[in-house]
A and B are shown apart, each in its own frame.
Chain A
């Protein structure tokens, strides 16, 4: 992946651009592989929900699993994430973001669910007054 081995550009700027391109833009095969995987990972959840061969709970677990896998597939094949991109800082930023997203999502759902559970039966304003 050296710029010298890819010497089509004449100027240093061109070499740099070519270098970036090779780093960040996989292959035709990679795009097709990602596309095929994401079609399957999209079609199966839609089929499961439209025809309902399983119970609601099992279906929910499966489609959440498929969504997680499909997000990873898109990250690898379309966004070209790897541990080396930008000296590892892209992956660092992504991991930090995932941690914040998980905390804020699960925290919000957890707190608000319990608040609803504990508030609902006692919401009689005539007695509270």
Chain B
């Protein structure tokens, strides 16, 4: 900006952009993304709330849902939340080895959750409770399947980050990515609270 210093005219803009450290707005931006994702799930919950009792003569929640299996699934996700927390604590303390180990454990819990969910879906489809059967089943598969898809992408993201940390270490960019995934992972857990309460537990009460 040295050539501008001598020119005598009014400035109606900042001569230099205010300096922000790289990535300083990433966490807020990612939080905004999560909030918009939250709206997607709100729509799917509303759809399930409206259509959840339209069985079209087909099977209802009582015949289909297996609560001990859902409880097992829920515990997988809860355990993965606290192991991700331990990974984050190790990241703060800059201990890469234990951090990677906790991330691996988190990934395994995520895979266990997905396997149990796929087993449940396969079981439902085998019994003829396919998404085309009734509005209840369409909205059920859309809601629970969308959550499962998020967990799948979270797990892929986790593996990619483990490779990144292995290659480049705990550089600020990697720490930032790990913190974004931390928000994503815990956010999915919050959504699952809604799923097991409103879909599975409330379904069994009907």
Contact residues of A with B, CB < 8 Å? 8, 12-14, 16-18, 20-22, 24-28, 31-32, 34-35, 38-39, 42, 45-46, 49-50, 56, 59-60, 63-64, 66-67, 70-71, 74-75, 78-79, 86, 89-90, 93-94, 96-97, 100-101, 104-105, 108-109, 112
B38-50 vs A, Cβ < 8 Å mask (1 yes, 0 no): 1100110111011
Indicate whether A105 sits within 8 Å of B78 (C-beta atoms), given known contacts A21-B91, A78-B189: no
A112 and B50 contact, CB distance less than 8 A: yes
A46 and B201 contact, CB distance less than 8 A: yes
- Residues from chain A with a CB closer than 8 A to the CB of B31 are 86, 90, 93-94
A13 and B49 contact, CB distance less than 8 A: no
B67 and A49 contact, CB distance less than 8 A: yes
A25 and B92 contact, CB distance less than 8 A: yes
Chain A, interface SS category:
helix
How far apart are A2's CB and chain B's nearest CB, in angstroms?
A: 15
A104 and B43 contact, CB distance less than 8 A: yes
What 4 A-B pairs have minimum CB-CB distances, sorted nearest first?
A108-B46, A67-B197, A31-B85, A78-B186
How far apart are A67's CB and chain B's nearest CB, in angstroms?
A: 4
B28 and A89 contact, CB distance less than 8 A: yes
Q: Which residue of A lies closest to B31 (CB)?
A: A90
